[in-house]
Structure 1
């Protein structure tokens, strides 16, 4: 009997900077290829992962471009997190006419599953997706697969933030032994995750780590953050610090903007605007600044040494905030990978 665990070859669609890929690799999955339309993802993806990056719109992807990579291992996995613009709080305006375009990438993912018939499929997305017809259409592309889908609170799998995601795992080899929601791993606190990073002032960058950088705060916002206690809200401020929106009735529904994180709790959901003090509870627990890009990445469970920019490259907050906030947390990817690895090992043991 071959005592080696059988290989799993994977392709990561909509791979971004590699959060899912990195997690799958930690669980023993050989991710051969990552596909994304954003050229900014190429350097971090290839620099930190033993995988090739293909810059291409998945909607234009040919089966032949990924079939050979999936065939490298004994088992195959097609993974992906199609962009979820329909649910973005920044794009909830008049979207009815373009909704078909928003769903095209998830539909293309389903078509690729039907054409390639990989051994395993995993899809990660926002929980709201499950209530839409496009999700049921995606399920139809998985005829012949046993599948589990669940709304996952990411802190249950070791991600130090309050982040909920829909995770689906499907197998072409009979019933899955468990779902990702069956796994529990205590999430570290904010202190345990970022507490040892060097001190930083607003507007400064660390000389050693270019990603440990926090934007400048205006004089008014500096007053505001100094008046903010960890876990508190802008309601604790003196009236002279309140903005016009806070004083409106609608402002009462946004208590967490201009807030500080708490050292001994998990962080809020890390978003694409996490570097902005006014965009949520993104103030550092005790330093008068917003969290740095490195701190945001570590709260997304990227390793501290994960490289996002080339040496000497200008750090752009909007671009890197988008890449970090949109990433699949590495530990969530690892939890998915462990589930698939367990299934493969179970199938392998049955064959002897």
Structure 2
């Protein structure tokens, strides 16, 4: 039996705009549904993944609902990326223990217990690996009889043009399982240049008439001067004194070298966040043009194909809404590798049976 004959049906919890589903579909899996609380994700999910989208809070979903949704006769995979904001390195040590996102991984565990799919995969930021909620999740899976493996995947090793690290967990009732290996560990990292250099040039505030998502945010007069004074890979320290912000003049300002900064052409990008369209929130300045990266460039650096549709035709493109969908997405290349790895695992388990 080959991977192409293995039939796996996927339900994607916390699906967002479909990054995880896209990667798993590219791997050869069948997507049964995506579930997310954000109604704005319905159009990109259904338009690109061509699978049903359910706008619902995961706390209102039951195992019985999932069981009715998976395709009959398939190996069932419950996949998802619970919101990771409480564990993000960008939170700089803030106390996040009271946030509503914390219990959502427990809800993921509840749905595994109620529906008992053959396979589970979960992706999140690496810091979640040292949290109590993650330990509970792993313990619950093992108590239910799942073999569990998890590890950190570095984006460039999987063809992602971004310095993103993600924890990927695989669990199976079919036997011992491992984490996905890079498809070509000796491959050269995909650079920002390779990913986005071919897109039309824009000025700050402009949009590409042929691609509404290739849209750059307006810069204030001061920020335009700042980016003009910035070199690729440089910091605010190269600016004239009059352009420096008050925080830069404080002794603590030295720790903020990766904001108000340009990317470099020949390296992968920094981690794409929900605010990657904003010059002031990271190293999100275009390497050459005097603007922040566009929404389309952020999506490409996150691993989405250039034609991926995020906004329904005729509807306005809002930076905050689309930026959140892009920044919160699972990078499809990492999801594809995880899907291929699980398909291989299922084939081996089937042959051994």
- TM bucket normalised to smaller: over 0.9
Other structure's SS at 1:210 match: strand
Would the alpha carbon gap of residues 105 and 47 (structure 1) be closer, same or farther in structure 2, given more than 3 Å must change? Answer: same
- Asked if the contact 1:150/1:181 (under 8 Å) is kept, the reply is no
Q: 1:161, CA displacement in angstroms?
A: 0.8
Task: Name 1:298's counterpart in structure 2.
Answer: 300
Residue-by-residue CA offset, 1:297-339 (whole Å, 9 max, x unaligned): 0001100000001112111111111110000001011011111
Task: Name 1:109's counterpart in structure 2.
Answer: 108
Q: 1:72, CA displacement in angstroms?
A: 2.4
Question: Normalized against structure 1, the TM-score is what?
Answer: 0.94
How do 1:1-352 and structure 2 match up within 5 A?
5-88=5-88, 89=90, 93=94, 95-96=96-97, 98-99=98-99, 101-143=100-142, 144-176=145-177, 178-181=178-181, 183-184=183-184, 186=187, 187-351=189-353
Residue-by-residue CA offset, 1:158-188 (whole Å, 9 max, x unaligned): 1111111111001111112x42245445431
2: CA distance, partners of 1:272 / 1:334: 22
Q: 1:242, CA displacement in angstroms?
A: 0.8
Would the alpha carbon gap of residues 72 and 50 (structure 1) be closer, same or farther in structure 2, given more than 3 Å must change? Answer: farther
1: CA distance, partners of 2:218 / 2:49: 32
2: CA distance, partners of 1:4 / 1:287: 44
Other structure's SS at 2:207 match: coil
Other structure's SS at 2:349 match: helix
- Asked if the contact 2:11/2:77 (under 8 Å) is kept, the reply is yes
Q: Which of 47-56 and 86-95 deviates more?
A: 86-95
Q: Which of 291-300 and 77-86 deviates more?
A: 77-86
- Asked if the contact 2:14/2:80 (under 8 Å) is kept, the reply is yes
Extract unaligned runs of 5+ from structure 1.
none
- Asked if the contact 2:3/2:347 (under 8 Å) is kept, the reply is no
- Asked if the contact 2:32/2:71 (under 8 Å) is kept, the reply is no
- Asked if the contact 2:3/2:344 (under 8 Å) is kept, the reply is no
Extract unaligned runs of 5+ from structure 2.
none
2: CA distance, partners of 1:16 / 1:2: 31
Q: Which of 341-350 and 86-95 deviates more?
A: 86-95
- Asked if the contact 1:190/1:263 (under 8 Å) is kept, the reply is yes
Q: 1:350, CA displacement in angstroms?
A: 3.3
Calculate the aligned-residue CA RMSD, in Å.
1.8
Q: 1:237, CA displacement in angstroms?
A: 1.1
Would the alpha carbon gap of residues 73 and 235 (structure 1) be closer, same or farther in structure 2, given more than 3 Å must change? Answer: farther
Q: 1:102, CA displacement in angstroms?
A: 3.0
- Asked if the contact 2:236/2:257 (under 8 Å) is kept, the reply is yes
Aligned length: 348
